[in-house]
Structure 1
């Protein structure tokens, strides 16, 4: 039997989901209704009611923001992701969603002590020589305390809030199902690619819930910048760290909020801005791993013009293909090449509904406004995303995360050094990318893979040679033309054997000495 309306199909899917998460699903619907968003709940099959003009109201963005804050950390994080989607939402919605904060009231340490001691496997008083029960900061998922180890190191202790994981996992199950239902039922909602956004949200939240992920991220980024003493990543104390508890070195520095404050502390703002740009671009273009939220609260400027990276719960990854596309994107802008820019945008819009003409017009519009001169990334993105929205282009979620990190860092740099030109930093990073591709670290894994493939071919070489030789000998030529063809084939076989053996030898030597 076929259902008569998409809303009935939504309701049927919601009923299947409700058996496991009925109470939270009801809370979601009631919250949307209470904030005057019953129509949105109805579109999602939550059994609420409302009229379609609710979302056209000037107050709708604020009502949505308040509803998300009331629903808690999962929905706050979802709203923060939506706030980056200027390619999908208009300025009023973006401005309101950017106000979403993860701040939360602090919990008395008495409510956390048992969880902390369970994670440590010993009492707090024996694990630490000193522990400050008054928290340094609190967010919706965790709060942070200062402490000192018995060995004398000053550390911070990040404690996950009790019972938060089951609630967030239930929220993610609900959002995953609602996104899938929305894509099936509505072409308008499908344009937003809600399933991809919820996948991005799930990956981000599951990483942040497990503090060992943040600890490994810190170790990885520290190794990435091991040769640059200007970049500091706090050391992790693994003996005290677990999924629900993170202990790392305390770093005392100045958040990059004001150039005047930094200069008063003896920090060269030009040097620190240049370093910040190099760090974020190298993470994206060379290392393929980047701090996904480098806002001032997650950065510290240290004496000697050094920069510390904090709060590494969310680290994005960039594929080699995306790195090449981003370099092509920036180079096309700097050289005012609208055709090259259109090629990049077409690759990014693959799978969407945008026509080649729309992509070309978007590229030409972007070149007209920003091509051929220094890049102010925040201004570029302020034009870029609305332009994509006007032309019907939707960016892949992984690219949105990259641009968000770059725009966030660009905002930090402009705050402390307003005349900073990011285009010079991009050119420097592109040169370093080219140099890295010529170095042994890039070629060694490629050559090892080549040797392995050649070794597999080499194992079969005797049989192949015997088969080729037998075929040549078993088919005597009947005329001079065939004889010449046989001779050519024999010479080709010899050349192939010689070339193959030389290639194997060269690859083995390269892997050995690189």
Structure 2
């Protein structure tokens, strides 16, 4: 934890405390042990909130305070708005209103930093730069420009002094997180220090525009086969940590419904295409645009879709994607134990009352009994799952929380374009494909081998079994002798599976050979084919007999 540094940090602390007091959060400062400082600052405050603002609910006042505190806290609020597992719905709804748009910085103030990033004068690179910004946010400004070579581009330029301000704010937030974790058992359960580290990583990525540019290129490569999608080209000769130069996309934002109607755009097709692309990124690629709101989709004149702004991206490992598929499968097939097991995996080692969790999951799943996959309200499902985990004082993994947020945003995007839009219609084919792949023979055989190796590892390292003790109701440590028997059974099962595949192949080959016109025939079939079919039958009978004898001996 970094200590406060100098007079500047203390001035910033005083400023932030003043804003919190102004918006009525004195009790929070008392809880943090800053009551005396808060009382002093309160006496010095000359500004009072209007009565109508004072009567607003706490979540509205918190949102207004964050906006006044500046970019670090606006971003913190936007990150918290993705954590439906931590905050109740009314707080999520309010924090989603946080705006990072601020008054524009004069271009003359941006110019020294821009030329430092380019390593040369602006006139050497661009034939023109529009000084009036296309957009002005808390961390950057966007300006249109034209390269000397004639290409139209947009410049995303980092605001001067923003890094120093954010670093000072992060030092203060580290102190707050440490106090929360040490003084409150309730807060400790949600790991505020770990959450802050996650926020720091997210903010560091967002401050580095080269990271955003690499994300854009990675998604462009993943979507190369989708002919109706366009990702802006990155101009790497000029892009760096504090400057992103990308191809300009000239079209209509998907949020401009009136213009889309005037152009005759099929809004439902647009919504379905946008959803299909985001689902592909999530379920197939494991790397996705995490903020798919209408403003980030631009409809080009040829009705292709340009996707912009890759400051917020998410990553889903193969394990996470498998967990999501199992979650959906458990809900559709009404298997609460399967769904509960996924949620326990998401609990990240915290004690979970498994029986109570299973009962709550079973009750929630009854609402989806008989619902087909393409009509499943996945956004609602994930919100309910987050509420269940919140009730058990467990937070979602950060990547799953981002998926929940992206699904909610995507559903809102689709419904704004076409009220009859169904989010899962586009996900259903991909989920079915993933399910088929999950239960393919090759994948099952590989999973069996991996599990057998895991069991062998546990035989030789029994202490690893202690990691299972965090689950109430979980099985007791397993005897190594039992493990050896299970390994033997797995190996025999794998051998039987291989033999069954061989027998099937012999039947297929025998059937094909029996149709050959050359060579000796019997009862209208080629003798060689008959030999293969009979061999396969004898081999299969022997396999069945040996299995029956083994089971009889075990009885």
TM-score (ref. length: structure 2):
0.71
Structure 2's unaligned 5+ residue stretches are 40-53, 451-555
Q: What is aligned with 2:422?
A: 421
Measured in 1, the distance between the counterparts of 2:438 and 2:331 equals: 23
Please, which of 107, 132, 135 is the counterpart of residue 134 of structure 1? Answer: 132
Contact conserved, 2:59 with 2:90, CA < 8 A, in 1? yes
Q: What is aligned with 1:271?
A: 269
Using a 3 Å threshold, how does the CA distance of structure 1 residues 365 and 309 change in structure 2: closer, same or farther?
Answer: farther
Q: What's the CA shift string for 1:373-425, capped at 9, x where partnerless?
A: 21233443454433433344421222111211122112111211222223332
Corresponding position: 1:30 with 2:18: yes
Please, which of 79, 82, 88 is the counterpart of residue 81 of structure 1? Answer: 79
Measured in 2, the distance between the counterparts of 1:353 and 1:97 equals: 30
Measured in 2, the distance between the counterparts of 1:400 and 1:365 equals: 22
Q: CA deviation at 1:141?
A: 0.4
Instruction: Determine helix, strand or coil for the equivalent of 1:240.
Output: coil
Contact conserved, 2:154 with 2:246, CA < 8 A, in 1? yes
Contact conserved, 2:190 with 2:394, CA < 8 A, in 1? no
Aligned length: 425
Instruction: Determine helix, strand or coil for the equivalent of 2:237.
Output: helix
Superposed, 1:314-333 pairs within 5 Å as: 314-333=312-331
Measured in 1, the distance between the counterparts of 2:55 and 2:436 equals: 54
Which shows bigger deviation, 148-157 or 325-334?
A: 325-334
Measured in 1, the distance between the counterparts of 2:73 and 2:153 equals: 31
Measured in 2, the distance between the counterparts of 1:95 and 1:420 equals: 22
Measured in 1, the distance between the counterparts of 2:115 and 2:6 equals: 35
Q: What is aligned with 1:143?
A: 141
Contact conserved, 2:383 with 2:404, CA < 8 A, in 1? no
Measured in 1, the distance between the counterparts of 2:351 and 2:423 equals: 32
Please, which of 40, 43, 57 is the counterpart of residue 31 of structure 2? Answer: 43
Instruction: Determine helix, strand or coil for the equivalent of 1:239.
Output: coil
Superposed, 1:399-414 pairs within 5 Å as: 399-414=400-415
Q: CA deviation at 1:97?
A: 1.8
Q: What's the CA shift string for 1:102-142, capped at 9, x where partnerless?
A: 11101111111111111112222221112110001100000
Which shows bigger deviation, 220-229 or 36-45?
A: 36-45
Using a 3 Å threshold, how does the CA distance of structure 1 residues 343 and 260 change in structure 2: closer, same or farther?
Answer: farther
Corresponding position: 1:226 with 2:245: no
Contact conserved, 1:267 with 1:303, CA < 8 A, in 2? no
Please, which of 331, 340, 343 is the counterpart of residue 342 of structure 1? Answer: 340
Please, which of 248, 251, 254 is the counterpart of residue 249 of structure 2? Answer: 251
Contact conserved, 1:362 with 1:391, CA < 8 A, in 2? no
Measured in 1, the distance between the counterparts of 2:387 and 2:264 equals: 40
Contact conserved, 1:291 with 1:316, CA < 8 A, in 2? yes
Instruction: Determine helix, strand or coil for the equivalent of 2:170.
Output: helix
Q: CA deviation at 1:187?
A: 0.5
Q: What is aligned with 1:493?
A: none
Measured in 2, the distance between the counterparts of 1:92 and 1:436 equals: 39
Q: What is aligned with 1:237?
A: 235
Contact conserved, 1:39 with 1:49, CA < 8 A, in 2? no
Contact conserved, 1:301 with 1:307, CA < 8 A, in 2? yes
Corresponding position: 1:366 with 2:364: yes
Instruction: Determine helix, strand or coil for the equivalent of 1:351.
Output: coil
Structure 1's unaligned 5+ residue stretches are 1-12, 51-55, 451-514
Corresponding position: 1:177 with 2:175: yes
Using a 3 Å threshold, how does the CA distance of structure 1 residues 77 and 329 change in structure 2: closer, same or farther?
Answer: same
Contact conserved, 1:333 with 1:372, CA < 8 A, in 2? no
Measured in 1, the distance between the counterparts of 2:106 and 2:368 equals: 51
Using a 3 Å threshold, how does the CA distance of structure 1 residues 353 and 71 change in structure 2: closer, same or farther?
Answer: farther
Measured in 1, the distance between the counterparts of 2:127 and 2:70 equals: 35
Using a 3 Å threshold, how does the CA distance of structure 1 residues 350 and 121 change in structure 2: closer, same or farther?
Answer: closer
Q: CA deviation at 1:77?
A: 1.0
Q: CA deviation at 1:359?
A: 1.8
Q: What is aligned with 1:101?
A: 99
Q: Which has the larger radius of gyration?
A: 2
Instruction: Determine helix, strand or coil for the equivalent of 2:143.
Output: strand
Contact conserved, 2:84 with 2:401, CA < 8 A, in 1? no
Q: What is aligned with 2:350?
A: 352
Q: What is aligned with 1:168?
A: 166
Using a 3 Å threshold, how does the CA distance of structure 1 residues 172 and 372 change in structure 2: closer, same or farther?
Answer: farther
Contact conserved, 1:112 with 1:162, CA < 8 A, in 2? yes
Instruction: Determine helix, strand or coil for the equivalent of 1:300.
Output: strand
Using a 3 Å threshold, how does the CA distance of structure 1 residues 423 and 209 change in structure 2: closer, same or farther?
Answer: same
Using a 3 Å threshold, how does the CA distance of structure 1 residues 334 and 422 change in structure 2: closer, same or farther?
Answer: farther
Q: CA deviation at 1:366?
A: 2.6
Contact conserved, 1:358 with 1:392, CA < 8 A, in 2? no
Contact conserved, 1:254 with 1:300, CA < 8 A, in 2? yes
Which shows bigger deviation, 171-180 or 67-76?
A: 171-180
Contact conserved, 1:352 with 1:394, CA < 8 A, in 2? no
Superposed, 1:422-437 pairs within 5 Å as: 422-433=423-434
Measured in 2, the distance between the counterparts of 1:423 and 1:378 equals: 9
Q: What is aligned with 1:306?
A: 304
Instruction: Determine helix, strand or coil for the equivalent of 1:157.
Output: strand
TM-score (ref. length: structure 1):
0.76
Q: What's the CA shift string for 1:171-228, capped at 9, x where partnerless?
A: 1232233213311221021133312321221111111111111111111111111122
Contact conserved, 1:377 with 1:410, CA < 8 A, in 2? no
Superposed, 1:195-206 pairs within 5 Å as: 195-206=193-204
Corresponding position: 1:66 with 2:64: yes
Using a 3 Å threshold, how does the CA distance of structure 1 residues 17 and 357 change in structure 2: closer, same or farther?
Answer: farther
